[in-house]
Amino acid sequence: MESTSPYIKDIETEDFQQAVLQKSHEVPVVVDFWAEWCGPCRTLGPTLEKLATEAGGEFLLAKVDVDANQQLAAQFNVQGIPTVIGFRGGAPVDQFTGALPEAAIKQWLAGLLPSELDRVVEQARDAAIAGNLETAERLFAAVLEEQPDHQEAGTGLAALQIASGRHDEALILLGKLAITDEVERLQSAARLSASRGSDVSEIAKRLEAAPDSDPIRIELAIALAGRAEYEPALDHLLSVVKARGEGKDDARKAMLDIFEVLGDGHPLTTTYRRQLASALF
């Protein structure tokens, strides 16, 4: 029976991206991989639910039935149950297997819940939302001075750097972080945004004079994407892939960057990903 607590939710494979990975950017999410027939699961589950309710939203508990979601269990290398994995910033950060006593679970949760540095990151985000970008950047940078691999501070600062045109700085910073969907999206955004100031009309004239030039066509596509003109950009890149010349792989990578920026659910991503697959194979 599904819990009525707002802090506890049964999760299926199709919910995982939004309910766990995306949500963990806002609040830690604890995922309990369990099964109905598992005795230790029946011991651990109620304890986790009690702690989630008592925490009042400091973390969310997502329960995954491994029998109904075997692919998801395999994705996170769940070899024994119960397995509990803590997610923050879109990535798993810690886990344990077995029915630990409540005191041990509380100790484990203490390492997952926001630290003082995490609270500074929240202050930085609030400052950015309020338009105080200098303050936000200063706070993100202060966190990174103390913890250079702090994921949320790193992505937050990189986003500000991209917005202000410091694309190379952003790419260097992102390269120091663990690879997550958010890091890959920002890397793609940095590469595309770097061409935002390019003279599209000048590049188009050069392409008109040399229509078979893959490098110029790719340059034009990336410049268009930098101006958020994604559909013509994708058309140019797809034509390079279909021609199967020397620029094929560069065009493919540029298309993937655009897909990352648009997101999997965008109609252009769906349409052009299918066409890209057909062109490649």
pLDDT of 1: 45
pLDDT tens-place string over residues 207-248: 999 999 999 999 999 999 888 899 999 999 999 999 988 899
Please state, in angstroms and rounded to a whole number, the distance separating the CA atoms of residues 278 and 281: 5
pLDDT value at 53 more than 50? yes
Average pLDDT value for residue range 23-35: 94
Average pLDDT value for residue range 100-123: 92
Q: Fold identical between 8-112 and 200-280?
A: no
DSSP state of 81: S
| Average confidence score pLDDT of the chain | 92
Which burial class, exposed, middle or buried, applies to 236 when counting CB atoms under 10 A from its CB (0-12, 13-18, 19+)? buried
For the chain, the domains span: 8-112, 116-193, 200-280
pLDDT of 114: 83
Place of tokens 């997550």: 180
Residue 221 has φ and ψ, to the nearest 5°, of -60, -45
CATH 1.25.40.10, applies to 200-280: yes
CATH-assigned architecture of domain 116-193: Alpha Horseshoe (1.25)
Name the residues annotated as catalytic: 38, 41
CATH-assigned architecture of domain 8-112: 3-Layer(aba) Sandwich (3.40)
Read off the tokens for 245: 């010349």
pLDDT tens-place string over residues 144-196: 999 999 999 999 999 999 988 898 999 999 999 988 888 988 998 888 887 77
Provide the whole-model pTM: 0.59
Query: CA nearest 48: which of 100, 88, 116, 120?
Result: 100
